[in-house]
Structure 1
Amino acid sequence: MTTSPLDLPSIALAPKVLLHDHLDGGLRPATVLELAREIGYDELPADDVAAVGAWFREAADSGSLVRYLETFTHTVAVMQTASSLERVARECAEDLADDGVVYAEVRFAPEQHLENGLTLDEVVEAVLRGFEDGAAQAADRGRRIQVRTLVTAMRHAARSREIAELAVRFRHRGVVGFDIAGAEAGYPPSRHLDAFEYMRANNAPFTIHAGEAFGLPSIHEAISFCGTDRLGHGVRVIEDITLPVGADPAAAAFPDARLGDVANYVRDKRIPLELCPSSNVQTGAVASLAEHPFNVLARLRFRVTVNTDNRLMGDTTMSRECKVLVDQFGYGWSDLERFTVNAMKSAFIHFDERLAIIDDVIKPGYAVLIG
């Protein structure tokens, strides 16, 4: 047997695990346009599929998280009915499965989908139906995927405890965790301590967007005060790591790296980093892909994972994110397998379920590609 080439078609065949993907950031451009026409929403900046897709990508390439988040005004606007939520979730599951994703945790903020009178529970129920239908349709085509949900609270709002209760209420129906998201600056995670305490009291996991637009203090609060199980992005933990002057970010090892207290804690505790390479550049968290700290963190054995964040805004897929890392840092199949296993180990489903996917799906899948 021979090793498969590390090109996009081969990477698309590899089993992949996705932990950080926003439902309202992953719509198909055609779906945005069709749903807008159905409800008479006339605020879209373009009126054909190609132009809509291009606009989202260009608008998200501003280098500002605040500007990046403004693009969601349009996607959220067309996701205000049960049928539209079901459709978006169904297509999300199908698209991920077609890209070789075998397990995904897709997050969304139920509080943003209430404008047409839906309740929080009705919003979640519609999304869960969509994921179930999408996974079933993918299975009919020979593509198997498990999709689970994280419910997100907006950090600038005051409903985080209510959303945490929603997460626990649906914990045995497809919701596996809780998250907070939105602009970081001025909205520290410690403002939502009651929500995190509620999750811990109910033995329920959660992740926190931290260390993206805001730096090390955001990460410190998320882990030390809030007790997060994972870091959404967390890319700026690199600010607590000192490398020799002139060190190459693409090097194979960093023996002289010095870690500060926060970085050591994140690594020692094996706190997963939900890294999103292309998105981190779009939002300005990282200056360029060449300077992305993914490789430094991976070589220093942090628990790094590869993620898409927002597939529409980034015009990306899991396969493309993996290919970006292969091209930038020279990774091989064994590296991609390690990142995938990292992600599966870090998922919010139970241990035996995680182990089954690693042993029965991920390892055999990579064994075929490695040859």
Structure 2
Amino acid sequence: MTSQNRNVPGPDQIRRAPKVLLHDHLDGGLRPGTVVELAAAQGYEGLPETEADRLGRWFREAADSGSLERYLETFAHTCAVMQSRDALFRVAAECAEDLAEDGVVYAEVRYAPEQHLTAGLTLEEVVEAVNDGFREGERRAREAGHRIRVGALLTAMRHAARALEIAELANRYRDRGVVGFDIAGAEAGYPPTRHLDAFEYLKRENNHFTIHAGEAFGLPSIWQALQWCGADRLGHGVRIIDDITTTDDGGVTLGRLASYVRDKRVPLEMCPTSNLQTGAAASYAEHPIGLLRKLHFRVTVNTDNRLMSGTSMSREFERLVDTFGYTLDDMQWFTVNAMKSAFIPFDERLAMINDVVKPGYAELKSEWLFRQTAVTSGSSASSG
């Protein structure tokens, strides 16, 4: 079946399609112009470029450089300008606006409160500033004719020793804008088991958490995140492919861990462009998402760091559509997967799926079918 008679979406349809985002870092998604303006206002002189377009290009090139040190340097600059309430409020509001403009209807955006304390803010003040910013961004989006809901994930850094403190913070602000917890940072040498007290606390409180696992480190990090820590989702999880064997004749064998992940419907927060930058995949065509989608793992599509990757949800889907020929049906499948896996109550997830996601895709499919019918009718008339 050719793309002409399959509902393969174009860029405009991809942008208008309702999308759900589970893995996006607040400090990795700033507008370059905002970084420049905040740096000037705060007297921060460390930026490598002071013109917005050039700075945006620098961030992308640094992320593509293959140098971990240079990649991490990018976050030093964004965090440096996110140390006041006003800055955090602005960045969060613009994040919600930008996602809504891109067709995202639900997003969980993560950040580490402990990285925003150098100017004297308390952890609570950081959380409240970001929450207020998200609400303002949602309001501005509504005024612009867009619908979005944003929840915060509070992140603890793997190399630090504040995971339990941040987990307790996430629990205090539960139902007040914070929907869950995460740990991030270098996987190798900093296993999630270092923070078991935080995960045990969250489980006792019946709270939700995801863990960055299976990106830079392999299957052991996935196993630990699931079996020792009890993660609800896996941040990235691309290395689960290491437990899947394929043969030249198309045969596929799943190892015990891969079978467990698929059977238990563990959500995988995959970020294709970011994975290419960090070396977790060599190309879009070789990204594990293609095989995992065929095998019906609960795969979701995400941005990770929109500034560093020069990406958006629409761009991620454009690359997947171009690479794998995905249709609107595939996009809906990924989106429903993500909404099913969100850290909000079941009835609210179901309402988003039935009232927003499915109707949005149904409209796009009807539009596509109408266009195809018109093209076919026109061809028939011409040949007659």
**TM-score bucket (shorter structure):** over 0.9
Instruction: Determine which structure has more spread, i.e. the larger CA radius of gyration.
Output: 2
Alpha-carbon deviation of 1:13? 0.4
Alpha-carbon deviation of 1:68? 2.4
Instruction: Give the % identical residues.
Output: 67
Residue 157 of structure 2 aligns with an amino acid whose one-letter code is M
Cα distance in 2, alignment partners of residues 211 and 65 from structure 1: 17
* 2:210 corresponds to 1:210: no
Deviations along 1:308-331, whole A, 9 cap, x unmatched?
000000110100001110011111
Cα distance change, pair 172–68 in 1 and its aligned pair in 2 (3 A): same
Provide the secondary structure at the position in 2 that maps to 1:291.
Answer: coil
Mapped contact 2:6–2:327 kept (Cα < 8 A): no
Cα distance in 1, alignment partners of residues 11 and 212 from structure 2: 29
Provide the secondary structure at the position in 1 that maps to 2:188.
Answer: coil
Cα distance in 2, alignment partners of residues 77 and 14 from structure 1: 35
* 2:337 corresponds to 1:334: no
The farther-off stretch of 80-89 and 43-52 is 43-52
2:166 to 146, 163, 166: 163
1:94 to 90, 94, 97: 97
Cα distance in 2, alignment partners of residues 196 and 70 from structure 1: 29
* 2:268 corresponds to 1:261: no
Provide the secondary structure at the position in 2 that maps to 1:105.
Answer: strand
Residue 308 of structure 1 aligns with an amino acid whose one-letter code is T
* 2:318 corresponds to 1:323: yes
Provide the secondary structure at the position in 2 that maps to 1:289.
Answer: coil
Provide the secondary structure at the position in 1 that maps to 2:285.
Answer: helix
Mapped contact 1:4–1:369 kept (Cα < 8 A): no
Deviations along 1:233-286, whole A, 9 cap, x unmatched?
0011000000114x7xxxxxx5x2101111011101100000000000011111
Unaligned 5+ residue runs, structure 2?
367-384
Mapped contact 2:8–2:325 kept (Cα < 8 A): no
* Aligned counterpart, 1:251: none
* Aligned counterpart, 1:144: 147
* 2:198 corresponds to 1:195: yes
Unaligned 5+ residue runs, structure 1?
248-253
Cα distance in 1, alignment partners of residues 340 and 32 from structure 2: 33
Mapped contact 1:12–1:100 kept (Cα < 8 A): yes
* Aligned counterpart, 2:290: 295
Cα distance in 1, alignment partners of residues 210 and 247 from structure 2: 32
Provide the secondary structure at the position in 2 that maps to 1:102.
Answer: strand
* Aligned counterpart, 1:20: 23
Deviations along 1:160-187, whole A, 9 cap, x unmatched?
0000000000001010000000111110
Cα distance in 1, alignment partners of residues 289 and 67 from structure 2: 20
Cα distance in 2, alignment partners of residues 82 and 135 from structure 1: 18
Give the alignment's TM-score, normalised by structure 2: 0.92
Mapped contact 1:64–1:284 kept (Cα < 8 A): no
Cα distance in 2, alignment partners of residues 69 and 274 from structure 1: 21
Mapped contact 1:65–1:183 kept (Cα < 8 A): no
Mapped contact 1:65–1:284 kept (Cα < 8 A): no
Deviations along 1:162-217, whole A, 9 cap, x unmatched?
00000000001010000000111110011000000010000001000000011111
Alignment RMSD (CA, Å): 1.3
Mapped contact 1:210–1:218 kept (Cα < 8 A): yes
* Aligned counterpart, 2:41: 38
Cα distance in 2, alignment partners of residues 111 and 65 from structure 1: 22
